[in-house]
Amino acid sequence: MYKKLIVDSGRRMLNSGLTVETWGNISARDKGTGLIYLTPSAMSYDIICEDDIIAAKPDGTIMEGRRKPTVEFELHLAVYRARSEINAVVHTHPVYSQIFGVLREPIPAIIDEAAQILGAEVRCARYELPGTKELAAACVEALGKNAYACLLANHGAVSIGADMDAAFRVAKVLEMTAQIYAQARMIGEVKLLKKEHIDYMHDFAYHHYGQK
């Protein structure tokens, strides 16, 4: 079930325009067993099948899979070790989010969807080389205890959630917010939302919205 989720999510990422070619990577945690399922390294998302998915323990011990795991193996594991409520991590290289990763600037919550889904701002992690433990540590630090997304300096974005749909929602809202922010800054002065309004919308979206 988790292997199929990763295969399907790879195609979903490719079709979302949030990344190109084989960049970006995806993982999910099985809450029952604690195992983390990840995409393999450098394989095209349209040919990956369930046999190509890797299952690992949070400490990095590989339990299943014949492929080499994603180059950002450490980053994924570090996020799960740091945030027990998170069960899906989507790492993408989206164009507009990366504008702010290149500027190494946070993206403020300038639209209601961003306030709801992302919270007050999306921070940018310090630059570290891809695939390193240092990048994993920088990412965990930028996410902190509460954020659902961060930028990786000159590299990409990391979006996380309680499940895969939530992580994709974060990834899409992040990229939409970055696009609006970049274009608004080109033609005028951006008016920011008040912190009390952001906090209200964020709390409502994660704790009160929906049919339950």
Smallest distance from the beta carbon of 17 to Zn ion, in angstroms?
16
Interface pick for Zn ion out of 10, 69, 119, 156 (rule CB under 5 A): 156
**Contacts (CB under 5 A) with Zn ion, residues 67-126:** none
Q: What is the helix (H) or strand (E) element at residue 92, kind and residue range? A: strand 88-92
Closest-CB residue for Zn ion? 156
Q: Helix or strand or coil: residue 63? A: strand
CA-to-CA separations, 145 to 12, 17, 140, 142, 163, in angstroms, rounded? 27, 28, 9, 9, 17
Instruction: Indicate the residue among 72 and 121 with the shorter CB distance to Zn ion.
Output: 72
Instruction: Indicate the residue among 42 and 190 with the shorter CB distance to Zn ion.
Output: 42
Residue 105: active-site member: no
Smallest distance from the beta carbon of 157 to Zn ion, in angstroms?
9
Choosing from 72, 74, 121, 175, the catalytic residue is 72
Instruction: Indicate the residue among 115 and 138 with the shorter CB distance to Zn ion.
Output: 138
d(CA 101, CA 157): 8
d(CA 65, CA 51): 7
Please, are residues 40 and 52 in contact by the beta-carbon 8 Å criterion? Answer: yes
Residues that bind Zn ion (CB under 5 A): 156
Catalytic (active-site) positions: 72
